[in-house]
Amino acid sequence: MISKYCDVKEGNGMPAHGVMIAVHEDWVDMIHSWEIDYRGWGRYLALKLVGGSVNKQKAETLVVVCCYSPSANSKQYKVQKTLLEESYKDVGSEDISNEAECNVCPWHVMRTDLGSMVKKYEKQKAMVVMLGDFNFTWDVRSRLPNSKFEGEPKERSETWKTWTTEYMKYANVCSDLMKNPTPTFQRSNFQDDKDMILMRTELRDTAVLGVGVMDCDTMDRAPSNSEHWPVAVELSIKAVFGTIGQVTQHPKLRSNKSVLRSTTNEDEKEKYRKEVIRLFTEADV
């Protein structure tokens, strides 16, 4: 097992929080590179995996990004906010104006930094999966029935979801593919689904074999002191990296190569439909 850990330490040298990615030894040869949070705040860690060339086509790339967003008014949130405010003063600003307020919000800055990194990989034609503890509620139904959802928590949730779905064009596969909203964090007086797996819908629809959360109703407590339950997704390696002998490399490329138009006649649509079914059958995805 190969692993990498990106963390932030307290003044006593003990880790305050961090993110880690572990890779099975069978995948070691696919590891291309790692990228850590360039600010040194332990907010994300990216692993770039590159498959082999299939049918003389360019090898496919999968980037897995493990994320941690600080919770509201936590010690790390306050530390990051202070550092951002000081960075403004370092460049000559005497105070933080209202217009710059969002730029010293740790969540705003994380979205900016994380989004820039992910967009960079996507320009390289990589498929990207972001997963981890984002510390906001995705589906309000995962909260306790009488839990108030208003003010800052609701605003934070709406802002993060807008960034995810409208700017990044990503979906939360935990919410999309599970039958019922399931909390991934639970205390005696609070619960929600703050742990997520985010990816583009074309990857979700062609490569996800399964997704799940360890059911909190079947255990007395979370499996760690963090009070979180793990989220997991299973991807088809054939769908992501391709299969030797396929007419085209994998379902993502087949989806992107459609030549159908709104004006295409019904015979052509039916012919295309049958061909897609045939290819997916051959791909054994």
Q: Where are the domains of the chain?
A: 2-241, 243-285
Q: What's the average model confidence in pLDDT over 158-178?
A: 95
Radius of gyration, CA atoms only, the chain: 21
Residue 75 has pLDDT above 50, yes or no: yes
Q: What are the respective helix, strand and coil percentages of the chain, to the nearest 5?
A: 40, 25, 35
**Residues with Cβ < 8 Å from 108, sequence gap 6 or more?**
102
- Checking if the pLDDT of 119 tops 90, the result is yes
Cβ neighbours of 112 (radius 10 Å): 13
Structure tokens at 130: 């972001």
- Tokens found for residue 73: 């008014």
Spatial distance between the Cα atoms of 131 and 276, rounded to a whole number of angstroms: 30
Q: What is the mean pLDDT of residues 80-105?
A: 69
**Given a cut of 80, is residue 179 above it in pLDDT?**
yes
CA dihedral 59, 34, 65, 104 (to 10 degrees): -130
186 contact partners, CB below 8 Å, separation of at least 6: 216, 222, 227, 229
In this structure, are residues 158 and 165 in contact, taking their beta carbons and an 8 Å threshold? no
> What is the overall mean pLDDT for the chain?
82
Q: Could you tell me the pTM of the whole model?
A: 0.79
Q: CA-CA distance, 244 to 279, in Å (whole number)?
A: 13
Q: What integer pLDDT is reported at residue 285 of this predicted model?
A: 43
d(CA 81, CA 260): 50
pLDDT score, position 173: 94
Residues paired with residue 20 on neighbouring β-strands, in sequence order: 5
- Nearest residue to 42 (alpha-carbon basis) of 23, 78, 21, 16: 16
Q: Do the Cβ atoms of 7 and 68 come closer than 8 Å?
A: no
Q: Give me the sign of the Cα torsion angle 221, 223, 227, 228.
A: negative
- Give residue 54's pLDDT: 64
pLDDT value, residue 147 = 87
pLDDT of residue 141: 92
12-53 pLDDT, tens digit per residue, is: 555 567 899 999 988 899 999 999 999 999 999 999 999 887
CA atoms within a 13 Å half-sphere pointing along the CA-CB vector of 247: 9
**Which of the two residues, 254 and 266, has the higher pLDDT score?**
266
Which pLDDT value is given to residue 220?
61
Contact 258, 275 (CB under 8 A): no
The pLDDT of residue 112: 96
Decide: 219 and 182 in contact? Cβ < 8 Å.
no
Dist. CA 243–CA 285, nearest whole Å: 10
| Residue with the larger pLDDT of the pair 273 and 156 | 156
Greater confidence (254 vs 235) lies with 235
| 49-68 pLDDT per residue, tens | 998 876 667 788 999 999 99
Per-residue pLDDT reduced to its tens digit, 251-262 = 444 444 445 555
Report percent pLDDT > 70 for the chain.
75
Q: Regarding predicted confidence, which is higher, 180 or 224?
A: 180
Residue at 84: amino acid letter:
L
pLDDT at 248: 37
Which CATH number fits the domain 2-241, given the four candidates 3.60.10, 3.40.91, 1.10.8, 1.10.3470?
A: 3.60.10
**How wide is the angle at C-alpha 70 spanned by C-alphas 64 and 75, nearest 5°?**
145
32: nearest Cα among 129, 116, 132, 126: 126
